[in-house]
Chains A and B, each alone.
Chain A
Amino acid sequence: MAPAQYNTVAGLVAGLESGNRRALARIISHIENNSELAQPLLAALYPRAGQAHIIGITGAPGTGKSTLVNALAGLYRQQDISVGIIAVDPTSPFSGGALLGDRVRMRDLAGDAGVFIRSMATRGSLGGLAQATADVIMVLDAAGFQRIIIETVGVGQSEVEIASTAYTTVVVEAPGLGDEVQAIKAGVLEIADIFAVNKADREGADRTAMALQMMLHLGAPDRQQTMHHGRMLPVSLPPDIAPDRQWTPPIFKTIATQKQGIEALLAGIEDHNRYLAESGTRQWRQYLRAATELRMILRDALLERVLQQLGEEAISETVQAVAQRRLDPYSAVRQLLEAYHHRINTA
């Protein structure tokens, strides 16, 4: 067991405030495990956060994301900027376990008190992954890290959702992973603020960069539009915050293993950071993030309530009915909601 003071909210928050890394690590675990302390901790830390610039690094497996994070963080450290890193990898759907190996590529950062690296498994909870990640980002932010880099494997919707919690999203491509640019398939094009064509020492890097260039010219789907899409909470934006659409994602070639092209990439990230501030887009994204966050938490909380009231059996019967096409999912939800309201009204 951890020292006793790290089993209370007050003790943990005091530890975090005094820069204790054990306290920080314990807080993250409480959040990940959704322990009883999780919500009070988040409530206590929320006002302290909001200072960090959050950078998402996403792309197909093996494109060199972790190696790139290692190089980028190293360069930030040379500028005396502190960096928190979250490396997310999938939980095995079969065993519930996970193999988190990103640290292998980040060994240059060992022994530096200005860096904190945490590996996270997706754990496949009910839509809670993006939220859990956002919460851990918030903890590192509250701990005072100036840049927070989050590495995710860009292959699925949930990863895209995590990346969208970042202010600057870097999509990493590499030559030799099949001819096509991976971003098209994965649907991560919309979320890219910056492209890195890594492994530029390999043949085909120029072609990959050109393919991206062409796609951008053809007109990538508009990011703001995409983020508006669908299930947002209504937000009335202050009139002075207008979405600025002037940003065209730049493309940087990098060789992460040789730390080449990293200065330019970092400068691109910081350019985007400045652009966000100056155009008012950052503030606008903060509103969208808050809306997304509220929506996710509300959805989870409501779902949990409904599940609690109705019980697993009733739900699994309904699932069966839908699976066997005796009932369509929309009517099923209506029935479940009616049953739920009936329960709470007669309780």
Chain B
Amino acid sequence: MKRKIRVLVAKPGLDGHDRGAKVVARSLRDAGFEVIYTGIRQTPAMIAEAALQEDVDVVGLSVLSGAHMALVPKVKEALVAQGMDDVLVLVGGIIPNEDVPALNAIGVKGIFGPGTATQEIVDFIHKELAEPAA
């Protein structure tokens, strides 16, 4: 039986708009993924806990507030603390170029700006999950 790819879509931080995150969640479903949507105002600990219980392959974070440098590393840390080092972490939002190297350095490879075509995200996930994470 073909294994389903499971993706957690979460919105860390305090801003209360999740229209963008929902749109992404829906398009990932339409691309054949099982998407677990957790909603707004998620703490890093909540995200890591949900990722663990749902045994997801991918965690997609939507950060539009500009607080990505505060939030994303904390989520990554919380995931590692749960033993989920191997989970593919993606970030969607307005991420200035100068922040990209720092995010890459903590293992966040997929960074997608607003208006990214969903297909690009889908292809990225397929490519990353196909390769052994060695």
Contacts and interface: CB of A to CB of B under 8 A. Distances in A.
- Note whether A and B form a binding pair: yes
Interface of A: 1-3, 21-22, 25-26, 28-29, 32-35, 91-92, 94-101, 103-104, 107, 110-111, 116-119, 121, 123, 125
B52 interface: yes
A116 B53 contact: yes
23 contacts: A2-B86, A21-B52, A21-B53, A22-B82, A25-B52, A25-B55, A28-B55, A29-B55, A32-B4, A33-B4, A34-B1, A91-B34, A95-B29, A99-B29, A99-B37, A100-B35, A100-B37, A103-B37, A103-B38, A110-B45, A110-B49, A117-B50, A119-B36
Contact of B33 (A35, A97, A111, A119): A97
Contacts of B130: none
A94 to B, nearest CB: 8
B126 interface: no
Contacts of B66: none
B36 A1 contact: no
A1 B57 CA distance: 9
B26 interface: yes
A123 B6 CA distance: 12
Contacts of A2: 83, 86
B83 A22 contact: yes
A17 B39 CA distance: 32
B31 interface: yes
Contacts of A97: 28-35
B3 A104 contact: no
B133 to A, nearest CB: 7
Interface in B25-80: 25-26, 28-39, 43, 45-46, 49-50, 52-55
Given A22-B82, A104-B39, A33 B34 contact: no
A101 B37 contact: yes
Interface residues of B, number: 32
Nearest to A117: B53
Contact of A107 (B26, B36, B46, B132): B46
A204 B81 CA distance: 49
A111 B45 contact: yes
B4 A111 contact: no
Q: B1, B34, B86, B132 — which one has the most chain A CB atoms within 10 A of its CB?
A: B34
B30 A92 contact: yes
B36 A103 contact: yes
A96 B6 CA distance: 12
A25 to B, nearest CB: 4
Which of A34, A35, A92, A97 is packed against the most chain B CB atoms within 10 Å? Answer: A97
Q: Which 10 A-B pairs have the closest CB atoms?
A: A104-B39, A97-B29, A25-B55, A99-B29, A101-B37, A97-B32, A29-B55, A110-B46, A96-B32, A34-B1
Given A98-B29, A104-B39, A111-B46, A121 B34 contact: yes
A111 B49 CA distance: 7
